[in-house]
Structure 1
Amino acid sequence: MIAHEIQTATNQPVFSERLLAWFDVHGRHDLPWQQPRTAYRVWISEVMLQQTQVATVIDYFNRFIQRFPQLGDLAAAPLDDVLALWSGLGYYARARNLHAAARVMAAEGIPDSLVHWLALPGVGASTAAAIMAQAFDAPATILDGNVKRVMARHAGIDTPIEQASTIQALYHVAKSHTPTTRLADYTQAIMDLGATLCTRGQANCARCPVSTDCVAYLTDQVAQLPTRRARKPIPTRRAIFLHIEDDAGRLMLIRRPPSGIWGGLWCLPEYTPIEAQELQQSQHSESAARQAMLSQWSFAVQGEAVEIAAFEHRFTHYLLNATIERVRVGTYSYAQDTPDVRWFHVCDLPAALPQLGLPKPIARFLADCSVPLEE
């Protein structure tokens, strides 16, 4: 039995009416991007909310809007400024795409149709629909993670949520519930329902405005839905970062390549040890890889590399197991800033760090480095 059949049998108000009545009383009406709810502010918030919870986004959004109150401010800013404000929020491709899209819109105008939003970097179908609904009150159907969960439970869809056929079925159900009026409120309401009541863990079905015809609730399958494919174990990847310090006490940071993990951020130079079996012994492997990294700058290395820190950082698809090694080098005759290399004296780090886009674990390490050691 699907949700529509249950509604007809019990002659209840339609899904959207019940949801909006609940939203009027219990929904979130004071989120910073709602006041005012302009296309620019909604777009910023929706990109930040990709893979990130509202509670985390709020402070980042407020700082971002304070620095870039208008589209032109964001489009004119250097990418480094954007990445610095994004630092710690993760998924940094979002920031690069946001900046690129701002420049497109500054030249061509803010879109007012779904198809034109979809043409912008970093804007997918659900994000475009959320922008159209919330900024323009236009009929558009969103299908983010919260909405997928609500629809899978309400309609009793029990095929793996990652499957293309499941996503298509969920979209049709979501579209059938989307009203023709109050689109902005409805879009926020369905996201609020998934975020506050129909949660991944302990769903609060007793307070849910649509539980009376929810298939999962009526058949005691709330904890089982939505279903997912069995997840493979997350692999571990090893990396070593170099704390390169010269005789003058200056620390070297480099800009990472624009694509890939932490793309475009400032970071300690990184190398991945060659697999031990390729060079017989792991210590030789690390030494060779380190030397290959350092050789590109022709440093006069003083002494041996010394491990000074270690950390783990979880990405979506793997666990990074990292160590940080200190390498002392002679005063580098070419130690001047370039677009991709910058040198900082340790005493200058406290002022410099907030201005740089840095990976969170590296920023934490450098902040600790900038604190003088007690004698």
Structure 2
Amino acid sequence: MTAFACALLEWFDRHGRHDLPWQHPRDAYRVWLSEIMLQQTQVATVVPYFQRFVTRLPTLSELAAADEDTVLALWSGLGYYRRARFLHRAAQLCVEQHAGELPRDFDALAALPGIGRSTAGAILAQAHGLRFPILDGNVKRVLTRYHGIVGHPGEREVEKRLWQHADAHTPAERIADYTQAIMDLGATVCVRTRPLCGVCPLREGCVAHRDHLTTQLPTPKPSKAIPTRSTMMLILRDENGRVMLQRRGAQGVWSGLWSLPEAEDSDSAWREAQRRARIDDAQALTPFMHVFSHYRLHIQPLLFDGAAPALAIADNGDLRWCAIADLPALGLPAPVRTLLMALPEPAEP
């Protein structure tokens, strides 16, 4: 075992995280679910979602048998909803092709939707103790600083070097603990800004610490201006307090989720609303901004109260009238759910 791994495991025994919900029990299904949820999401945010998810769908087979709305509803608020759809499809493929279990073969596991090289390695290492390195965002940061690697970690050649280091440092024993340890170190000590180098078990061999490069490494991704887009969201509410929802298409953000009809401007908003219901008036609610990874979306909600459902578009595959109390059972984007839950009470007739 390398000095790197020894120091890291000694630190982990005293300071690592040993009480995360997916560690008890640490089976393949729970590890897989946690790894997918933790992609681009912090542990503190993931824990309640994980607990709710496994309470409702405690096994891979139950996940595979669930309908998409159930899966997306459980995921709602975590963002990056493609992860949930890949998770669902991978579970179905495991039932169809792998006797209802996540395969222990690396290539078969990595071939499933949403499971790449690092996630496959994390599942096999933590659930089965098999020696596979990982390279998530936290691990990239630790290795980049420790070895003084210049260049954005997403660049092909830089990532190749990081994989080589990840493999060299991964020990032959205590694989599950080592895997958790290096993720923990990146999440709690070797953090993005103001890393806690004074308590880091790897500081003696760390190039970034030695050369005062912790603020420069990892090399940032070249920045791009984030554009702002605008949309109007149409809230058609009938006399019973139900709102009209529309399932989004398979492409673009929030794909497959239930959301609100949208329009580009006031004129098209009225036309869209009149296509779906008989309406009299509209109330402009407080606009707000939602930030995606690649653009900002300025949202202007328009509330059409007392909308009368049009018979021609009674509930079908992509449109439905939904009571506010029924929203938790559906997969909705978090800002849309927040908007609908905070609607003003209907005016007295």
Instruction: Please classify the TM superposition score into its range, dividing by the shorter chain length.
Output: over 0.9
Match of 1:15 in 2: 4
Match of 2:29 in 1: 40
Residues 331-359 of structure 1: CA deviation (Å, up to 9, x unaligned): 42245322221113xxx41x212111111
Equivalent positions of 1:354-365 (< 5 A) are 354-365=328-339
Residues 228-259 of structure 1: CA deviation (Å, up to 9, x unaligned): 13311211111111011345553211111133
Residue number among 147, 153, 156 corresponding to 2:145 in the alignment? 153
Equivalent positions of 1:201-216 (< 5 A) are 201-216=193-208
Residues 171-230 of structure 1: CA deviation (Å, up to 9, x unaligned): 111111111111111110000000010000111111111110100111111111111133
Q: Is the 1:240–1:323 contact (alpha carbons within 8 Å) kept by the matching residues of 2?
A: yes
Closer/same/farther in 2, CA of residues 332 and 206 from structure 1, 3 Å limit: same
Establish whether residue 64 from structure 1 lines up as the match of residue 48 from structure 2.
Answer: no
Distance across 2 between alignment mates of 1:188 and 1:248: 51
Match of 1:31 in 2: 20
Q: Is the 1:246–1:332 contact (alpha carbons within 8 Å) kept by the matching residues of 2?
A: no
Match of 2:214 in 1: 222
Match of 2:104 in 1: 112
Distance across 2 between alignment mates of 1:154 and 1:106: 42
Q: Is the 1:335–1:343 contact (alpha carbons within 8 Å) kept by the matching residues of 2?
A: no
Distance across 2 between alignment mates of 1:92 and 1:326: 26
Q: Is the 1:311–1:361 contact (alpha carbons within 8 Å) kept by the matching residues of 2?
A: no
Distance across 1 between alignment mates of 2:345 and 2:37: 31
Distance across 2 between alignment mates of 1:196 and 1:331: 53
Q: CA RMSD in A?
A: 2.1
Moved over 6 A (4+): none
For residue 97 of structure 1, report the CA deviation from its aligned partner.
0.7
Establish whether residue 324 from structure 1 lines up as the match of residue 298 from structure 2.
Answer: no
Equivalent positions of 1:180-199 (< 5 A) are 180-199=172-191
Q: Is the 2:2–2:171 contact (alpha carbons within 8 Å) kept by the matching residues of 1?
A: no
Q: Which amino acid aligns with 2:299?
A: A
Q: Considering only CA atoms, is the larger Rg found in Structure 1 or Structure 2?
A: 1
Q: Which amino acid aligns with 2:295?
A: Y
Establish whether residue 264 from structure 1 lines up as the match of residue 256 from structure 2.
Answer: yes
Match of 1:103 in 2: 92
Distance across 2 between alignment mates of 1:331 and 1:39: 47
Count of residues in Structure 1 that have an aligned counterpart in Structure 2? 345
Using structure 2 for the length normalisation, give the TM-score.
0.93
Q: Is the 1:84–1:357 contact (alpha carbons within 8 Å) kept by the matching residues of 2?
A: yes
For residue 361 of structure 1, report the CA deviation from its aligned partner.
1.0
Closer/same/farther in 2, CA of residues 366 and 223 from structure 1, 3 Å limit: same
Q: Which amino acid aligns with 1:180?
A: A
SS at 2:9 equivalent: helix
Q: Is the 2:2–2:169 contact (alpha carbons within 8 Å) kept by the matching residues of 1?
A: no
SS at 2:294 equivalent: coil
For residue 322 of structure 1, report the CA deviation from its aligned partner.
0.7
Residues 59-92 of structure 1: CA deviation (Å, up to 9, x unaligned): 1000000001111111111110011111101000
For residue 108 of structure 1, report the CA deviation from its aligned partner.
2.0
Establish whether residue 171 from structure 1 lines up as the match of residue 170 from structure 2.
Answer: no
Residue number among 247, 266, 272 corresponding to 1:293 in the alignment? 272
Unaligned runs of 5+ in 1: 1-11, 274-285
Using structure 1 for the length normalisation, give the TM-score.
0.87
Residues 291-338 of structure 1: CA deviation (Å, up to 9, x unaligned): 5534654x44434x4312311111101111110112354442245322
Residue number among 234, 246, 259 corresponding to 2:226 in the alignment? 234
Closer/same/farther in 2, CA of residues 331 and 219 from structure 1, 3 Å limit: closer
Residues 101-136 of structure 1: CA deviation (Å, up to 9, x unaligned): 111112222210211111111111111111111111
Q: Is the 1:198–1:204 contact (alpha carbons within 8 Å) kept by the matching residues of 2?
A: yes
Identical positions, percent: 48
For residue 372 of structure 1, report the CA deviation from its aligned partner.
7.0
Match of 1:276 in 2: none
Distance across 2 between alignment mates of 1:219 and 1:227: 15
Q: Which amino acid aligns with 1:321?
A: H
Q: Is the 2:52–2:74 contact (alpha carbons within 8 Å) kept by the matching residues of 1?
A: yes
Q: Which amino acid aligns with 2:11?
A: W
Closer/same/farther in 2, CA of residues 173 and 147 from structure 1, 3 Å limit: same
